Structure 1
Amino acid sequence: MPRLHPPEFPVALKSDRSGAAEYEVWEALADELPDEYVVFHRVQWLDRPDDGPPRDGECDLLIAHPARGMLVVEVKGGRIAVDPATGAWRSVDRHGKAHVIDNPFAQANESKHVLRRKLASIPWWRGRPVPIGHAVALPHCAKGGSSIADASLDVTLDAADLTRARASVERVFDFWRLAPDDHWRHNGIAALERLFVHHDFARVPLGVQMRQQEPEFLRLTREQAGVLDVLRQHRRAAISGCAGSGKTMLAVEKARRLAGEGFRVLVTCFNRALADFIRAQLPPPQQARARAGVAAGRGQLDLFGGARVDVESFHALAAAWARRAGVPLPEAHDEEERRRLFDDVLPEALVRAAGELPERYDAVIVDEGQDFKEEWWVALQTLLRDPDHGILYVFYDDNQSLYTGGAALPIQTPPFVLTRNCRNTREIHRWVGRFYRGGAEPEPAGPQGRPPVALRYADERGLREHVRRTLHQLVAEEKVPERDLVVLTPHGRARSALWRDPVFGNLRLTDAWPPAPNHVQWSTVHAFKGLERPVVVLAEVERGGWSRAELLYVGGSRAQSHLVVIEREDAAG
């Protein structure tokens, strides 16, 4: 994707009439143009003509390419029309209101000539040709319409052109035949960035950017909740979506709504940490309370204490029901016994316990359903008052189903597919999207964000040095709070080189949540599935264990705003 200045489109402009049109064009360019392009937004200029007072102005967008030159782009939103008799231009907005506007082609041409003079006056550029052309973007018009029949179609980008922005921009460059010289090819982009990028503001600390992005993520998540309105009449639904599509927050919202209607609800998932997170999202009156006098494990719930919503991981749920019903559970002494306990014994114990106990749920909601095995679905449905027709919602990632070989879901109707990523920046979405092999290709909706950072190491010493420098930069220089950061690894405590010696400068890794001051959370990728943090450092990416594609997809998609991947040099081999 192109380098963007500024890296984020200003949020305040998205709701402005002219700014909204610029945002549409900006998004199209950001999605389509390759890495060698650079796009500047609202380049301001001050012209000092020889025959008059100084004039100031700006061009909406400036597109630059080392081998093609520059394009000044003037953007006009709405339905554009021109009166051939008077030459008057107007824009009609979505409410049908007409606005008088300047001739966009004249504006683009003026900005082009002003920038050409300005650049030609710089000592570095003096005496050299300035490779610059102009274009007009009309994102709500069609060139075949009479409204722009008198305009130069060769330099017009209409709504259809913006759906294939790369080819359309290249067409305009071809029209101008700018032929930049070698001096421009090697130095032109850097010169533009020195001239037009305000360096005092260009490098906003990541911690500040994250706070600026929060309202956008919140808005997108709220909009995604509209899916539940569509599914309101469905007693059973499978909801599929990529990582970042908001499945967990939809599961929480569905639980809230059902509880508000008086239903008794169970929310369950595979990971204990994800269950803890979901529980924390529900208001205290809807949470189940810890049972007094019961020597329970971490986060055990009073499953029958009158609460409207119970939240627990599947295996903790099965163990709690088994204890209550007096179903004996064996101890697991090795990995094989532990695997059998989780895969077979606990699900069977849950079925037996359900046969002994009268309590039932009106609704069961499952998050990260791709991790569930066939026997688990049978056990879960025994907890419903109506096992065949009770309310059952399953949220799952069809891409992770490919990796895990997840069992078929107990819902016969076609899944409802979430196609919009609302929890990751566009940069992270594109990076993770390389490893997506699911159904409908997801679309990015979040803020632009920074490109992920990839670091390579040859040995453990190099790994530790990368982690130390990365943590220092993020916390000390980028002002990222420790609690907004997590270090993920595919290895457990016994194999992780980071966990064996968890001290990195003045920071220490911890598996506790929330982390103490000067501590950064450490977790395995497996234990962190379904969760997210604003910043993720995905480290110890090596051969063996997880497939590389699965690891980078699952681990990388945990990052909301920024991702750093620290990978062994031979990992991709």
Structure 2
Amino acid sequence: MFARSFVVAPLVASRLADQEARRLVLTKDQMRVLDFLRSHRRAAVSGGAGTGKTVLALEKARRLASEGFKTLLTCYNRQLADHLSSTCAGTSNLDVMSFHQLCYGQVEKANHVSGRDLVAEAKVTYPGKGLYDVQLPNAFAYSLEVLPDRYDAIVCDEGQDFREEFWVPLELMLSDYESAPLYVFYDDNQNVYARAGTFPIREEPFTLTNNCRNTAPIHVAAYKHYKGLPVSPPDIEGDELQFDASPGRDAQAAKINARIIDLVARQGVSAGDITVLIADALRKADYYAALRRLPLPKPATWLEEGIRTNNTVLIDTIQRFKGLESPIVILWGLDTIDLTHSEELLYVGMSRAKSLLIVVGTAVTCAGFEVSEH
């Protein structure tokens, strides 16, 4: 009798664990940047997706708070702000909120103290301008005439999404306008962000050049949609992009459901490590509904646009998930958008995946995707 030799591929769960161990080493390497920041009271830090900007912003904010600075950590995306806030819960001297949460909080307090309606005043001064882009930030600036509260230090993540109008009230929110610590972390992808570079920091930015989030295949695919300073791929091997082609939305939903059942029931993956991201935000309700009616192995459940737990498979849009990450991302809703004019969506959506990226669509969509990735 001869025993046939064969190789058992490791379960996806164990591959995820191995890759996460590599990431921890790489992220420690990124912490050297904090040594640079210690000697600069104001600095901008640029880098592409996965270079560790948010990790560094969070750690810098924690360090400032621990040194006694009353610190604000702010970003553009509410989802990211909620995630960072829960990560920092209980840290003294540290407030975490999105820029617009900060605006609303300040304006509400100032209205209460002064009896004024600052947003109404801003609407009179800036008629026809956008509420979130112009009027609310200016109402925030007015609030600083009324309220004495200030921060000793501000750390900003997602700086590329901040309009020039945002920086005036943020700087005025500092206890020392000239010299209080201010750090801005931003993505320098020129394909996507036209606003980057309007920050109130005069020195040249410190550039992060190593991807420490994605596996090498995901890095290569996502960075096809990036135009900026070169970013080195990570030293993390991983699976190539995977494609599940089916003709229509319901058939595609069934494919996604079967894939998730395999990952959870047979590959040992936690449901909370899987995220389904929808590219077509305008039709998201249709995509959500198609998945929601399909059963998952207990105790796993679907979660639409919420805060995940270990037993929830999150379904969300790429835009809302910006700044966050997931070990496994299933990218869907690509059939109904123009892929040739979706550089930002593809760059952001693909780079959310840390270890495994699965693209779902029609055969034409998948074939077009595969061609563009080679």
If the TM-score is normalised by the length of the shorter chain, which range does it land in? 0.7 to 0.9
Residue aligning to 1:128: none
Q: Indicate yes or no: 2:267 matched with 1:473.
A: no
Q: Counterparts of 1:495 and 1:483 in 2: how far apart (Å)?
A: 20
Pick the structure with greater CA Rg: 1
Residue aligning to 1:344: 134
More helix by share: 2
Q: Counterparts of 2:269 and 2:128 in 1: how far apart (Å)?
A: 38
Q: Counterparts of 2:106 and 2:363 in 1: how far apart (Å)?
A: 48
Matches within 5 A, 1:344-493: 344-399=134-189, 401-407=190-196, 408-439=198-229, 441-492=230-281
Q: Counterparts of 1:465 and 1:363 in 2: how far apart (Å)?
A: 49
Q: Counterparts of 1:371 and 1:492 in 2: how far apart (Å)?
A: 19
Q: Indicate yes or no: 2:7 matched with 1:199.
A: yes
Q: Counterparts of 1:244 and 1:495 in 2: how far apart (Å)?
A: 26
Scaled by the length of structure 2, the TM-score of the pair is: 0.86
Secondary structure of the residue aligned to 1:402 is coil
Q: Indicate yes or no: 2:319 matched with 1:534.
A: no
Amino acid at match of 1:370: Q
Q: Counterparts of 2:347 and 2:264 in 1: how far apart (Å)?
A: 25
Q: Counterparts of 1:539 and 1:465 in 2: how far apart (Å)?
A: 12
* Contact preservation (8 Å) 1:489, 1:496: no
Residue aligning to 1:564: 358
Amino acid at match of 2:275: V
**For this pair of structures, how many residues does the alignment match?**
347
Matches within 5 A, 1:2-401: 198-200=6-8, 203-282=9-88, 284-286=90-92, 308-326=93-111, 328=117, 329=119, 340-399=130-189, 401=190
Secondary structure of the residue aligned to 1:403 is coil
Q: Counterparts of 2:223 and 2:243 in 1: how far apart (Å)?
A: 16
Q: After the TM superposition, which parts of structure 1 deviate over 6 Å for at least 4 consecutive aligned residues?
A: none
User: In the superposition, relative to structure 1, how do residues 454 and 494 fare at CA in structure 2: closer, same or farther (>3 Å)?
Assistant: closer
Across the aligned residues of Structure 1 and Structure 2, the Cα RMSD in angstroms comes to: 2.5
Q: Indicate yes or no: 2:350 matched with 1:552.
A: no
- Deviation per CA, 1:317-356, whole angstroms, max 9, x where unpaired? 10000011115346xxxxxx99922112210111011121
More strand by share: 1
Secondary structure of the residue aligned to 1:421 is coil
* Contact preservation (8 Å) 2:324, 2:352: yes
User: In the superposition, relative to structure 1, how do residues 495 and 569 fare at CA in structure 2: closer, same or farther (>3 Å)?
Assistant: same
Q: Counterparts of 2:218 and 2:147 in 1: how far apart (Å)?
A: 47
Q: Counterparts of 2:83 and 2:181 in 1: how far apart (Å)?
A: 23
Instruction: Please state how far the C-alpha of 1:494 moved relative to its aligned partner.
Output: 5.2
Amino acid at match of 1:540: G
Secondary structure of the residue aligned to 2:347 is helix
Unaligned 5+ segments in structure 2 are: 121-126, 370-374
Which structure has more RCO (C-alpha within 8 Å, separation ≥ 6)?
A: 2
Amino acid at match of 2:144: A
User: In the superposition, relative to structure 1, how do residues 545 and 368 fare at CA in structure 2: closer, same or farther (>3 Å)?
Assistant: farther
Amino acid at match of 1:497: D
Instruction: Please state how far the C-alpha of 1:568 moved relative to its aligned partner.
Output: 4.1
* Contact preservation (8 Å) 1:423, 1:446: no
Q: Counterparts of 2:88 and 2:18 in 1: how far apart (Å)?
A: 25
Instruction: Please state how far the C-alpha of 1:454 moved relative to its aligned partner.
Output: 2.3
Instruction: Please state how far the C-alpha of 1:525 moved relative to its aligned partner.
Output: 0.7
Secondary structure of the residue aligned to 2:204 is coil
* Contact preservation (8 Å) 2:319, 2:345: no
Instruction: Please state how far the C-alpha of 1:358 moved relative to its aligned partner.
Output: 0.7
Secondary structure of the residue aligned to 1:343 is helix
Given candidates 307, 316, 329, the residue that maps to 1:523 is: 316
Secondary structure of the residue aligned to 2:60 is helix
Instruction: Please state how far the C-alpha of 1:417 moved relative to its aligned partner.
Output: 0.7
Q: Counterparts of 2:61 and 2:327 in 1: how far apart (Å)?
A: 25
